[in-house]
Structure 1
Amino acid sequence: MISLHTSPLDQPGTGDAGGLNVYVVEVARRLAARGIDVDVFTRATSSRLDPMVTLDPLPALPGAPVDDARVRVHHVHAGPFEGLTKDQLPAQLCVFARDVLRLEAAMPPGQFDVVHSHYWLSGQVGALARDRWGVPLVHSMHTMAKVKNESLAAGDTPEPAARVIGEEQVVEAADVLVANTDIEAKQLINLYDADPGRVEVVHPGVDLDVFRPGSQAAARAALGLPPDAQVVLFAGRIQPLKAPDVLLRAIAVLLERQPALRSRLVVPVVGGPSGSGLDHPESLAELAVTLGLDDVVRFVPPVAQSQLAQWYAAATLVAVPSYNESFGLVAAEAGACGTPVVAAAVGGLPTVVRHERSGLLVDTHDDTDWARALGRVLTEPGLHDRLAAGAAAQAREFSWDATAGAMLETYERARQLMRAEVTA
């Protein structure tokens, strides 16, 4: 696997670390549990990092080879360790690719059967490795420039033309493109002219051992939240794309309409600044003050998955107001904890949230529409409990074990397609 721009070891929720990081770790570890060695190449961001780190293994699945397979994360030196933004990373593609090829050359011949690249920068390196090693390239976009540029948040920066061109090149080079949802598959075909026969839909998953229904009272006690509070949670990177400002403005409208809610309302924002949000890291806190919400909003730094599960369990609802999500991992994790989700009806979120069954979908980013949806879950008799039951039931459809199994089938299909291409 290649994950150039962000390491699977990074803490999700800040910088460039998010659902992609979770995806790489979870799929890699579950492939290893099936007896498959996985090497992940990522860019080193500190001189203190070991050249290679082995992830803790999961128990081997029945029938897996006796020899324990491993997940090894290789920190590749490419450019200065710190200070590079994602937009500056294309200049480091050559040196990163060179060192990946060098590392492979020191391994036993035929070490790799498949290259799986994540995000377009990694796809550029993956295309070179494919041709050099004679193995198929499977690529996951995770996000796409053309999709993001069609639904930019106010004040956000459009993705550059260089990224669009780079993505088009990766689409052409990949043997198989992995889409998280049917919607993403259609976007690849319609916006990037991808061959429909080379697009496979594989849903990401949820760690159902970590994210599962639990005691709301116990979670609130552990987090220092009032037992009778109405808790509206935002979890994720603080950047315009994720639209936490939409949530705060909706909360302000809701309190104007129902001022009695204020004494019990808590709005935790769990995450750190990222992307264009790094330009003004305090802007959301400043907005909370401007809207008169500093008494109800709490800012919480990114937390480990076990504690994030506590936040989900403690919440009355989780809000996902993003302008685009290729899948919506936060929504899936929250649902697995039995917590209703109010989400924007964009990207993959309608796959994860079923309107009126496991949560509510909002067709706009209008403050009043969002205030109405939030208010329904908080105050409409019986709605919260019905959605909570539906969320927990739906989440069982998504598991990382199922994702890994489907990915193995995808890898084999990529190998078959490449063989057919060679013999044609």
Structure 2
Amino acid sequence: MRIGLDARYATDHFPGIGRYTLGLAQGLAELGLVQRLLLIVDQNVAVGRYNLAALARLPGVELVPVKVGPFSLQQQVVLPLVARHLGLDLLHSPYYVKPYVGLPCPSLVTIFDLNGWRFPHSLSWRGRIFYRATMALAVRTAALVITGSASAQADLAHVYRLPAERMLVTPLATERRFQPQEPAVIASMRERYELPPSYVLYIGSDKPHKNLERLVCAWGQVVAAGAHSGMPLVLAGHATGGAERVRQRVSTQQLDAYVRFLPNVADSDLPALYSGATIFAFPSYYEGFGLPPLEAMACGTPVLCANATSLPEVVGDAALTVDPFSTHALAEGLIKLLNNPQLRRDLSARGLQRASTFSWRRTAMATMAAYEALVDCRL
């Protein structure tokens, strides 16, 4: 079987898709069941945090450079020609902007969430039109839609009236490097980023649904109660257009001395950054899966997160979950964890166990079964 996996979205601009693409590709290669796994890459994009070349050293994996970007209209012609030339049995796209017509083989699409449907105000009117048109085309032209959680599956079923047999839930997982780090590694990371011995951490983008303004307000209540013990709230991750809005909130709350911004942290430093945190806080009120809490748990860090959408599926009983729309509930949760070392130790142990139940091998096995079923139906 010759499987095409569109890896053109494995770039710094799409951190979640990049993680998924690399994790799935490595899991598929290690299974050894694919005759050839062909990763389609954009040769015009500079190498970023995702080392696709390293995957090409795995058995059965090959990089296929193309000269067309993932948002180019030309891909509607170029990729079907590439698929035909490669003799693909199917093409898997990890994003909804994909080839819609002319493919010589079945296609799958992974859709992580319906953020543009849930929060249309986050897009311009042109963005809304583009999002709805391309999403509908992706859903209607794919033989199978893969998503990461039952919550996202329910959204897809509701909006697009998709029957269960056209959807598959394959949870994401963490890379093996996400594990508790040695004290020397953590100390070196702290020195580079000038972090104190204790801090509360958030990692993710600064998009509105990530709820960072409410987290900042909650942190203000923690500071006012004197429960922070001098430690800062560290906001790290992919910086987008929302950073200035969050910074203004920090200034308005007079929290400049109690909040640190670490935009675009080196990917190699994330395991140590998680491991060194006293608490990982993730107040997002909409997630198709929610990978950062899982990465934090895999590093042994106690997690506080929202009790919304897919997050309870990810953390189970291994995190303290709170109402993300209540600043008071967020603050109470933080104070509870900061004041209770035993609870933090308990959540750390449960988080490690919970994270171990997710693996890219399991995700790859479920995805491979879907590949085989689609190819068998075509034969």
Partner in structure 2 of residue 20 of structure 1: 17
Partner in structure 2 of residue 65 of structure 1: none
Partner in structure 2 of residue 82 of structure 1: none
- The answer on whether the counterparts of 2:239 and 2:263 sit within 8 Å (CA) in structure 1 is no
What amino acid is the match of 1:74?
Answer: P
In the alignment, structure 1 residue 366 sits paired with structure 2 residue 366: no
Partner in structure 2 of residue 259 of structure 1: 226
CA distance in 1, matches of 2:64, 2:277: 34
In the alignment, structure 1 residue 55 sits paired with structure 2 residue 53: yes
Partner in structure 1 of residue 132 of structure 2: 164
Partner in structure 1 of residue 306 of structure 2: 344
Q: Displacement of 1:377 after TM fit? A: 1.0
Alpha-carbon spacing, 1:247–1:216, altered in 2? closer, same or farther (3 Å): farther
Partner in structure 1 of residue 244 of structure 2: 282
- TM normalised by structure 2 equals 0.87
- The answer on whether the counterparts of 1:181 and 1:326 sit within 8 Å (CA) in structure 2 is yes
- The answer on whether the counterparts of 2:56 and 2:63 sit within 8 Å (CA) in structure 1 is no
CA distance in 1, matches of 2:52, 2:187: 35
- The answer on whether the counterparts of 2:232 and 2:260 sit within 8 Å (CA) in structure 1 is yes
In the alignment, structure 1 residue 395 sits paired with structure 2 residue 362: no
CA distance in 2, matches of 1:184, 1:101: 29
**Identical-residue share of aligned pairs (%):** 25
Partner in structure 1 of residue 80 of structure 2: 101
In the alignment, structure 1 residue 413 sits paired with structure 2 residue 373: yes
Partner in structure 2 of residue 138 of structure 1: 108
Match of 1:2 among 6, 9, 12: 6
Match of 1:310 among 251, 272, 284: 272
Alpha-carbon spacing, 1:406–1:78, altered in 2? closer, same or farther (3 Å): closer
In the alignment, structure 1 residue 270 sits paired with structure 2 residue 236: yes
Partner in structure 2 of residue 76 of structure 1: 67
- The answer on whether the counterparts of 2:174 and 2:298 sit within 8 Å (CA) in structure 1 is yes
In the alignment, structure 1 residue 113 sits paired with structure 2 residue 117: no
Q: Displacement of 1:272 after TM fit? A: 3.1
Q: Displacement of 1:59 after TM fit? A: 8.3
Q: Displacement of 1:215 after TM fit? A: 4.2
Alpha-carbon spacing, 1:42–1:286, altered in 2? closer, same or farther (3 Å): farther
**Deviation readout 1:40-75 (Å, 9 max, x if unpaired):** 3355665x67xxx96214886xxxxxxx31241534
What amino acid is the match of 1:164?
Answer: R
CA distance in 1, matches of 2:103, 2:189: 52
CA distance in 1, matches of 2:157, 2:18: 25
What amino acid is the match of 2:358?
Answer: F
Deviation larger for 27-36 or 265-274: 27-36
Q: Displacement of 1:342 after TM fit? A: 1.2
Partner in structure 2 of residue 187 of structure 1: 155
- TM normalised by structure 1 equals 0.78
In the alignment, structure 1 residue 301 sits paired with structure 2 residue 271: no
- The answer on whether the counterparts of 2:115 and 2:286 sit within 8 Å (CA) in structure 1 is no
Unaligned runs of 5+ in 2: none
Q: How many residues align?
A: 366
CA distance in 1, matches of 2:190, 2:132: 43
**Deviation readout 1:347-403 (Å, 9 max, x if unpaired):** 22111112xx31111223221111011111111352111111110000001111211
Alpha-carbon spacing, 1:58–1:237, altered in 2? closer, same or farther (3 Å): same
CA distance in 1, matches of 2:303, 2:227: 23
What amino acid is the match of 1:384?
Answer: R
2:201 match: secondary structure: strand
**Deviation readout 1:206-258 (Å, 9 max, x if unpaired):** 11x2011234675145313333x2x21011122212222222111011112x2
Partner in structure 2 of residue 84 of structure 1: none
Task: Tell me the C-alpha RMSD between the 2 structures.
Answer: 2.7
